[in-house]
Amino acid sequence: MKLAIMQPYLFPYLAYFQLVNTVDKFVNYDDVSFIKKGWINRNNVLSHGKPFLFSIPVSDISSFRPINKTMTNERLYAVWKKKFFKTLNLNYNKAPYYSKCIAILEAVFSEESEYISHIAFQSIKETCRYLDIETDMIESSAKYENSELKGTERVLDICYKEGASDYINPIGGEVLYNKGTFLKHNINLYFLKSKPIEYNQLNKTFVPDLSIIDVMMYNPKEKIKELLNEFELV
């Protein structure tokens, strides 16, 4: 059984969905520390041909508070949503799949939630639903009861409890995890390396590594499903 574990990111980049799509089970790592200036409450879209960072306002950001206990700023959130959709309209209204993408965003942001982890996880689940990704998903806070463990030790514990034979992590995890350590526990460790991808953004120069929002704005569903396979495991 192939397993992946990742923090919930807000409409993450394409490689995140490549990871979700290639495993049998995906663990939403929602009870680890909130990462300041990470991708849990923010991401990049295209604005005037350049990356534009959007960020959901969060209350009392602290790296000592778990993601699933971090709340949105209720006072600012409603105003932010209006501005965000206006920004998308101004920059993407000519994109060929604007209406379909906006429908996904509306499904996510129409739900009432005071926790950023719920909003981020919904962005992942709604995108997966659109792309016909049927990977089993679970929140780490709902099952494993091992928050006292840290780093590799906790990942291995989750792998053991799920009966995983293969653990797959984004390529950046090469600096965090050692294949030999996992092999000692009879688990194969692989890293997902996404291949270079370009598509027509109606710009002269392609801007890479944006939120999946940008990918969905400019590509038909079937094309995105093809892009989900544009990676290698190393």
Burial class (CB in 10 A: 0-12, 13-18, 19+), 198: exposed
Bridge-based pairing of strands 50-55 and 166-170 is unpaired
pLDDT of residue 193: 98
Nearest one of 203, 224, 226 to 215, comparing CA atoms? 224
Condensed to tens digits (0 to 9), the pLDDT of residues 60-85 reads 888 779 999 999 999 999 999 999 99
Which parts of the chain fold into alpha helices (H)?
14-22, 74-92, 98-109, 116-130, 151-162, 179-183, 212-218, 221-227
Mean pLDDT of all residues belonging to the chain = 96
Which helix (H) or strand (E) is 170 found in, with range? strand 166-170
* pLDDT at residue number 29: 97
Q: What is the DSSP letter of 62?
A: -
Which of 7-21, 27-41, 108-122, 137-151 ranks highest by mean pLDDT?
Answer: 7-21
Stretch 93-121: mean pLDDT:
95
More confident residue, 160 or 112: 160
Give the pLDDT of residue 204. 84
**What's the mean pLDDT in 176-187?**
98
| All residues at 6 or more sequence positions from 215 whose CB lies less than 8 Å from its CB, including other chains | 14, 199, 224, 227
Delimit the domains of the chain by residue range. Answer: 2-233
pLDDT for res 112: 80
Report if pTM > 0.85: yes
Percent of the chain with pLDDT over 70: 100
- Residue 35 identity: I
Q: Any idea which of 57-71, 79-93, 126-140 has the lowest mean pLDDT?
A: 57-71
Quote the pLDDT of residue 113.
Answer: 84
Average pLDDT, integer, range 119-131: 98
pLDDT score of 205: 93
Q: DSSP character for 72?
A: B
